[in-house]
Amino acid sequence: VSKDDKKELLDAFNRSGFTSGYFEDKLGKEMMSLENPSNISENKFSDEVKSICRENVNLRKKEVFISTSICKNRPITACMWDNDGHFAEYHGNTLLEKRKNGKENAARIKNQLLKLGNTPFFAKDAELTMDEDAMVSLSQINDARRNLCKLFEDRLAEIGSRRTFSYTPSEIKKYDKKPILVAEISAYEQVKECVDAGITQIYVPIDIFDRVRAENPDISVIAKLPPVMRDDRSYEKFNADKILVCNIGEINENTECYGDYRLNITNSDSLYFYNHFKRVTLSPELNIHELSGIAEGNEVIAYGRLALMVMENCPLKASGKCQKGKMINSLHDRKGQNFPLLCKPGCICELVNSKPVYMADKLSDLTNLKINALRLIFTVENFAECGKIIGEYKKALSGEKINPPLENTFTRGHFYRGTE
């Protein structure tokens, strides 16, 4: 790569250089700009860069070849083909007459045939076979070209013969009961409030799993595995009998598995793949309508800040401000929103949304899906906030009306809009 090309990239994308990423395990401040980009360009791009970025530069057309026959006492005939073996042929509806005087201009006809305009095709030249005394109008040529392009597009869209197989999906496990509240915690201090509020299932980080399980023998404690595990299956040393699986590499056939939303289960086929799990959490990117077909007997996230990014190169550690997770820091964006940074086992940093999903006041929209569990994710909430939120959801489950929080303090996630 030339120095000039590197400079063009730096100017275009306003970056302070290049790194080898995670390939060489070289983490630290060299991988990121902690304050402002050190290379701030004046946005003066070369003419070459501007030409590359011009409108429709990536709109690629398919090269085709055209052959046309114009003979008196016969209809106009046109053919189009490409280098991939596709072929289309058009025949006009009327016979061409003989000219009374003069002769037809071949160059004019070729020029009209090559005007492929907004079609996805281009041709460098057109073959023309014609009688000089045959009479053809521009409208006839244009009509032949348009119909020929349409026929060729249809030919490209044709689906060849395919083998068919019978497929009968296995029955998905279904339940028909009142959903339970399940809590996911990030800190040990949140456990007591969840237990006191009547939560019977808790997802806990693996670094506090043994302690929480020993102190709470009457509830179901499930080890929450980190989304990234660098040391192979290190969680096995915790002797967890129940695990929340974040990626397929964590599946253990000898352990009771629960599927996390990070498995991105969005349809019945992916749901069936994890049919041997005790329960799975469906993707938070699904809306109510999309959930309706697969939600029965499964779990959805009804409250909490969803993870936006998982980073092995922790920005706190890279800036020399690592506090081993003792304090919650955040990233502040240009719109004034704060995105908390959570320290996870293995020095993994997780960036979560600035606002939590909140559905207590619209809980019937979820319970009507016949789900088995509603997950409440607690990240930056203190013990009092945990108790308050659990209380609101318990009241909503019992049929009480719940007022929504203050405007702009929460989000509905994708429940009512989905993803685009």
DSSP for 360-408 reads GGGTHHHHTTT-SEEEEE-SS--HHHHHHHHHHHHHHHTT-------TT
pLDDT for 174 equals 63
Phi, psi of 221, rounded to the nearest 5 degrees: -105, 120
CB 281, CB 259: distance < 8 Å: yes
Among positive and negative, which fits the CA dihedral 62, 65, 70, 75? Answer: negative
Same domain, 140 and 195: no
Q: Which residue has the higher pLDDT, 335 or 371?
A: 371
Residue 393, pLDDT > 80, answer yes
261 and 126 in a common domain: no
Residue 171 in domain: no
Does residue 413 lie in a domain region?
no
261 within a domain of the structure (yes/no)? yes
Whether 241 and 368 map to the same domain: the answer is: yes
SS3 348: strand
What separation in angstroms does the CA of 70 have from each of 97, 134, 152?
10, 7, 20
How many domains does the chain divide into?
3
Q: Give the Cα separation of 275 and 170 in Å (integer).
A: 9
Identify whether residues 102 and 222 lie together within a single domain: no
Residues 103-145 have pLDDT tens digits of: 778 888 999 999 998 899 999 999 999 998 888 888 999 999 9
Gap between the Cα atoms of 131 and 308, Å rounded: 69
Question: Rounded distance, CA 150 to CA 147, Å?
Answer: 5
Indicate the range of 69-78, 237-246, 409-418 predicted with least confidence: 237-246
Q: Does 368 lie in the same domain as 268?
A: yes
Phi, psi dihedral angles at 330 (to 5 degrees): -150, 160
Range of the domain at 221: 180-306+353-397
Q: What is the pLDDT of residues 310-347, one digit of tens each?
A: 888 878 777 777 776 666 788 888 888 899 988 876 67
Task: Mark whether 69 and 115 lie in a shared domain.
Answer: yes
| Cβ(278)–Cβ(258) below 8 Å | yes
Do both 37 and 92 map to the same domain? no
**What is the predicted pLDDT for the residue at 396?**
95
Residue 334 lies in a domain: no
Model confidence at 51, pLDDT cuts 50, 70, 90, reads low
Q: Is the pLDDT of residue 37 over 80?
A: no
Does residue 252 form part of some domain? Answer: yes
| CA–CA separation, 177 and 372 (whole Å) | 7
Taking the model in full, what pTM does it have? Answer: 0.66
146: amino acid identity, one letter: R
Same domain, yes or no, for 21 and 67? Answer: no
| CA atoms of 187 and 207, how far apart (whole Å) | 10
pLDDT at 170 over 70: no
Predicted confidence (pLDDT) at residue 162 exceeds the cutoff of 80: no
The answer to whether position 361 is within a domain reads yes
Q: For residue 36, what pLDDT band results from cuts at 50, 70 and 90?
A: low
Instruction: Give the pLDDT mean for 250-276.
Output: 90
Query: Is residue 41 situated within a structural domain?
Result: yes
Residue 184 sits at φ, ψ, to 5 deg, of -115, 120
Same domain, yes or no, for 238 and 378?
A: yes
pLDDT of residue 54: 65
Same-domain check for residues 121 and 253: no
What one-character DSSP code corresponds to residue 40?
-
Q: How many CB atoms lie within 10 A of CB 179?
A: 21
Structure tokens at 133: 């005394």
Q: State which amino acid sits at residue 387.
A: G
One domain, residues 285 and 212: yes
Residue 300 banded pLDDT, cuts 50, 70, 90: very high
Mean pLDDT in residue range 227-233: 66
Mean pLDDT of the chain: 85
State whether 113 and 220 are in the same domain.
no
Question: Would you say residue 390 lies in a domain?
Answer: yes
Q: Name the percent of the chain lying above pLDDT 90.
A: 50
